[in-house]
Amino acid sequence: MMERHRKGLLLVNLGSPASPLNKDVKAYLQEFLSDQHVVELPKWFWQPLLRGIILPARTWRSATFYQHMWRPDGSPLVIYTKLMCEKVQKRLANWDVRYAMTYGQPDISEQLHRMKAAGDQSIIVLPLFPQYTKSTHGGIIQQVQDSGVKTTVIHHFYQYPQYQKMLAQQVDRCYRQKDYDAVIFSYHGIPTAMVKHGDPYLKECHETTAGVIKYLQLPHEKVKMAFQSKFGPMPWLKPYLKNTLMQLAAMGKRNVLIVTPSFVEDCLETIEENDVQNYQTFRASGGRIFDSVPPMNASDRFCDFLATISVDQLKEGKRFDE
């Protein structure tokens, strides 16, 4: 007999094209870049620009990047999200643990309705983004609300000492392997206008860095912050990672270690943008060593952490939103 009245946990990630083929990459980009939580421009202005210029120009380039990083079993982001889901399910044996994607499949609303039909009554939605920003969480929250299923959403988890200690230990472990001149905490950027309109992301990034530094054994003065993945002509959060890398090389700091605290799994930004494009920029500017601290990537400790904060969320007894 089907178990009733279970607790539910839905892990939500950004998503990935169904394949690295142009048609699937175009469909994914169109859904992603049509979300007004991501691009806030008026639809009447943005949609003709997106369909007429941006998608034709960007699709083939993005498809090339996806083809380069695609694994025999699929997109790394999807692979690691599935693995997180499986591991957390083992840790929460009496829960119903599933995953969904903001863009692409599995669909958030469909998964929530399946969980409700299975008898899940206390459902936690956990976006796999340590820091909150409208550009990632806004679309998730909108889809959750539109589903009509009662849930509670964990808005961020960067502030947990357990997470900060895990990240600090990963950084220290990598730092000990070579003689680095700088350790760059590189976060995914967002438009500056979002922060001016009240988005807490920049504050949470600074608090993440400050929290992790407390546990680092390496010299704190070597730590710098930067932002990557800028898209479009509007100003985004600075300093830009690419500029920071060129400046460090010009100053004679030729050995750098990159940390990506806003990414919990390897994805296009860590594999292609950093380890290929930003590596090439740094080397061309006179840099020598460019290494990256691996993300959590469904490690046992990180999956322990996800299970713990989900249980804690229910223990706190917060009201479930309609």
Which residues are known binding-site members for Fe(2+)?
188, 269
E strands present in the chain? 6-15, 95-103, 120-127, 152-153, 182-188, 223-228, 255-259, 289-292
The Cα–Cα gap between 270 and 81 comes to 15
Instruction: Single out the residue of 240, 190, 198 nearest to residue 39, CA to CA.
Output: 190
Q: Exposure of 298 by Cβ count < 10 A (0-12 exposed, 13-18 middle, 19+ buried)?
A: buried
CA distances in angstroms from 67 to 8, 30, 56, 103, listed in the order given: 35, 18, 17, 19
The Cα–Cα gap between 97 and 111 comes to 10
Instruction: Single out the residue of 247, 214, 35, 52 nearest to residue 141, CA to CA.
Output: 35
CA distances in angstroms from 273 to 115, 121, 168, 242, listed in the order given: 36, 41, 23, 10
Instruction: Single out the residue of 1, 13, 5, 8 nearest to residue 264, CA to CA.
Output: 13
The Cα–Cα gap between 62 and 55 comes to 10
Residue pair 158/207 in contact (Cβ under 8 Å)? The answer is yes
Per the annotation, binding residues are 188, 269
The answer to whether the bond into 235 is cis (omega within 30° of 0) is no
Would you give the DSSP letter of residue 221?
G
